A and B are shown apart, each in its own frame.
Chain A
Amino acid sequence: MTFRARHLLGIEHLSPQDIVTVLDLADRYVDLNRRTMKQSDALRGMTQINMFFEASTRTLASFELAGKRLGADVMNMGVSQSSVKKGETLLDTAMTLNAMHPDLLVVRHPSSGAVNLLAEKVNCAVLNAGDGRHEHPTQALLDALTIRRAKGRIQRLTVAICGDIAHSRVARSNLILLGKMENRIRLIAPPTLMPNGVNEFGCEVFDDMAKGLEGCDVVMMLRLQKERMDGAFIPSEREYYHRYGLDAEKLAHAKPDAIVMHPGPMNRGVEIDGTLADDINRSVIQEQVEMGVAVRMACMDLLARNLKAERGAKASEVIV
C-alpha cells in the first residue's frame, strides 16, 4: 500500500505505483458491484458532499452511487443554482460546507485550478471531479482500468486520443496517466482543437486520422462541445464527422483488436458512428461507465483510509 495522497486533485501528483494501487483495489470493487449485495462499510459514518459547480449527470451519479455503496452519507449540491448566484465566492461556499465537517468533498468547477484552490482551505479530502480544462483524474483512472481489463496490461500500448484535445480535461489527465505508465500516445485532432505547445508533450501529433490510427491498440474519442461546432473552431459538424468522426472504415487502420472508448456523453454522428459505439466487439463504452463507479469507490476508500490514519487516535476516542 503506497497511496499516501491527502487529496486527489490530478494524475500529475500520482506515482505509477499509486495508479496501480487504485486499479488493483478498483478491480475488487468491480466484483463487489456485480453482486446483489453491493454494500461495503469503508466509508461508514463518513460524510461525502458532491459539490458540482457545473452541470453533470453521469459523473455525479457515479460518485453518488460509489459513496452510497461504501456506506457514506452522501449529499449532492448543485451549486450553480444556489449561493454562487447570490454572489458568494467559491471559498465562502467551501468554508460553509467545511464547517459541516464533511470527510470527502467531490468538486467539479468550470475554472482550471479551482479545486486546487479549494483544497488549500478545507480540512477534508478533496476529489477533483473535473476542473475547467485542467484535469479529470477519476476519468483517466477508469479509462486505465477499462484498458487494463480489456488488454491485460496498461503498459507498452499505442493509444490514440482523438478530438477536442485543446479544451479537454479528460485528454490532459489521460495523457499524463498513459505517459506515466509508459505507453505510446498519439494525439489526433484538427490543428484548431490541438493545445498550444503540443509538440513538447512527448506525444505523436497527427491531423490525419487514418495515419494516426495506424497500429493503435486503443482509440479514445473525445466529446466535441456543441458550442465549438459553429465555425469558430471547425467549419461544420458534417465536415468534422467526415474527417474526424470514428467509423468502421477509419477504425480499420487501427489494430484488428483495437478497442474504442468514449468518456460520454456521445454525439452520435459527430465524433463517433452510432453503430460502432454499440458494437460490443469493439466498443467498451459501457464498461467505462461500470469501471467509473468502481474506480471512484477505490479512490474514496484510499483517501478515507489516509484521512483516518491522519486523524489517528482521535477517531477511536469518539464518544457516541
Chain B
Amino acid sequence: MIHFTNARLIDPETLTDSPGSLTVENGLIHAINAPAPAGAQIFDCQSLPLAPGIVDLGVQIGEPGERHKESFRSAGLAAAAGGITTIIARPDTNPAIDSPELLEFVTRRAREASPVRMHHMAALTKGRQGQQMVEIGFLLDAGAIAFTDGDHVTQNTKTLSRCMTYARSLNALIIAHPQDPGLSAGASATTSKFASLRGIPAVSPMAERMAFDRDMALVEMTGVKYHADQITCARTLPALQRAKANGLDVTAGTSIHHLTLNELDVGDYRTFFKLTPPLRSEDDRLAMVQAVADGLIDTISSYHTPADEESKRLPFEEAASGAVGLQTLLPAAMRLYHAGHLDLPTLFRALSLNPAKRLNLPQGRLAVGAPADLILFDPDAPFLLDRFKLHSKSKNTPFDGQRMEGKVLGTWVAGTRVYAES
C-alpha cells in the first residue's frame, strides 16, 4: 500500500488540477484525498503533478524483424522513463503482425521484456498489402486491440469497405492513416515556398483532407468504429467536426511532433525532421494545438518510429521517415503547457484518458478503482537533450541538443514503481 501525499492531482476526467493525496492498494487506486491508512508507505510528492500514466497509441517496435532498431525491452525502458505506462504497439513490423500466431508471439515477448504494459494492434490486411482481410475474429480473441495497416493506405475502396463491414460486426476499432496515396506519392515535405526553394518534392495538405473525406463516406456506409491516426492539417478539421456532429463513431489523434514543430525545422535538410506525414506550416501546427484544446482532436501520441543511423544519413528524399518519441513525448508536451496553450488536465485528457477510453482500457484516469498507473513529474525541470542518452536503441530524435523542460521523476505500473529518476 502506497499513500501519495502532498501531490498536485491531475484529473483529466474532471479536468481539475488540485492539491491532494492518493492511496494505492493491490495495483489499483484505492482512495483519493483520504487520510493515510495505517501501515501505508508514505510518498511525499512535494507539490509536483501526479497524473495518470500516458497511453501511447501507435508505437513502432522492431520486433519481429528489426530488433536492432528497437526491442520490447528498450522500448519499455524508454517508455517508463518517459512517463508512458501503456504502449499500444503498431503492426508495421517485418513481417507485419497479421496472424494470431504472430500476435501471440509478440504478446509473450512483450510480457517478458517490458516494464510497462503493452497492447498490440494487428494489421487490417494480410502483409498490410490492402488485398486480403486478416482473421479479425481470431486476432481479437488473441488480444488485438485495434486494426491498422499503418501508413499503407488501402487504395481499393471495395476491400476497405468489406474490412470495415466485417470489423463492425465484431465491434473492432479500425485505425487509418488519412493520406491520399496518389497526391502524396514521392513527397517528403508539405507544399510551400520553403519546400520549393529547398527542392524537396512535396504534397498538398489537401491529400489528408481527401483521404479523410473518403474514409468518412465509408464509415457512414459501414458504421465501423474509426480512429484517424494523425490529423495534421487545419483543412481536415472541419471534416472531422462534421463527422463527429453527424454522429459517426470517429475519433482522431495527432502526433506530438506536429504539435511542437513545423516545416521550417527541416532547415538544411535535417533528416531527423523527416516524418510521415511531413511537418506542416506554423498555421497548421497552431490549428492542431487549438483542436486538442477544444477536444476536437482526441489523442496525442509520440508516433515513435525508430530508424537506424544508416537510414537517416542519406539525402533527404532517400532518408527514412519517422522519429523516436517515447522519452520526449512528455517534455515536448510541456512546451505546449509552458507556452500557455494547454493546461495539464487537458494535456492528460489527450495523452492518457482519451486513448484509454477509445481502446476500452481502464487506464488513463485518477479514479477510485482504476489501475494505479501513475506518473510523478516536474514540469519545470530543465535539461539539454542528448540523444545518445535515450533508452531507445535508435536515436533519431528531432529534439537532439534542444533545451527542454519537464522531467519524469517516477513511473508506477499497477502500483509498482518501474522508473525512478536518478
Using a CB–CB cutoff of 8 Å, the interface residues on chain A facing chain B are: 12, 89-91, 109, 111-114, 116-117, 131-135, 166, 169, 172, 176, 195-198, 200-201
* Nearest 10 interchain pairs by C-beta: A113-B269, A197-B193, A111-B315, A134-B199, A112-B199, A133-B199, A195-B196, A114-B315, A196-B191, A200-B193
Q: Is B313 an interface residue (CB 8 A)?
A: yes
**Closest CB-CB distance, B273 to chain A, in whole Å?**
12
| 8 Å CB contact of B269 from A12, A91, A117, A172 | A117
**Closest CB-CB distance, A41 to chain B, in whole Å?**
35
- Looking at chain B's contact residues, the main secondary structure is loop
Chain A hits for B313, CB < 8 A: 89, 91, 117
Chain B hits for A134, CB < 8 A: 198-199
How many residues of B sit at the interface, in one of the four size bands? 20 to 34
Within 8 A of A (CB), among B278-328: 310, 313-318
| 8 Å CB contact of B195 from A91, A117, A169, A196 | A196
**Closest CB-CB distance, B275 to chain A, in whole Å?**
16
Q: Is B192 an interface residue (CB 8 A)?
A: yes
Chain A residue, CB-CB nearest to B268:
A116
Chain B hits for A201, CB < 8 A: 193, 196
Interface contact A109-B199, CB-CB below 8 Å = no
Task: Given A113-B198, A113-B200, A135-B199, check contact A90 B314 (CB 8 Å).
Answer: yes
Chain A hits for B198, CB < 8 A: 112-113, 134
Using a CB–CB cutoff of 8 Å, the interface residues on chain B facing chain A are: 191-200, 202, 204, 268-269, 310, 313-318
Complex CA gap A132/B314 in Å reads 14
- 20 A-B Cβ contacts within 8 A? A12-B197, A89-B310, A90-B315, A91-B313, A112-B315, A113-B199, A113-B317, A117-B269, A117-B314, A133-B199, A134-B198, A172-B197, A172-B199, A176-B197, A196-B193, A197-B192, A197-B193, A197-B195, A197-B196, A198-B196
Interface contact B317-A112, CB-CB below 8 Å = yes
Interface contact B314-A169, CB-CB below 8 Å = no
**Closest CB-CB distance, A263 to chain B, in whole Å?**
16
Interface contact B316-A111, CB-CB below 8 Å = yes
Complex CA gap A131/B269 in Å reads 12
Task: Given A131-B199, A134-B199, check contact A113 B192 (CB 8 Å).
Answer: no
Chain A hits for B200, CB < 8 A: 112-113
Interface contact B268-A196, CB-CB below 8 Å = no
Chain A hits for B199, CB < 8 A: 112-113, 131-135, 169, 172
Chain A hits for B268, CB < 8 A: 113, 116
Chain A residue, CB-CB nearest to B310:
A89
Chain A residue, CB-CB nearest to B190:
A196
Chain B hits for A172, CB < 8 A: 197, 199
Chain A residue, CB-CB nearest to B270:
A113
Other than the given A89-B313, A132-B199, 20 more pairs (CB < 8 A) read A89-B314, A90-B314, A91-B314, A111-B318, A112-B198, A112-B200, A112-B269, A113-B198, A113-B200, A113-B269, A116-B269, A117-B313, A117-B314, A132-B317, A134-B198, A166-B196, A172-B199, A197-B196, A200-B193, A201-B193
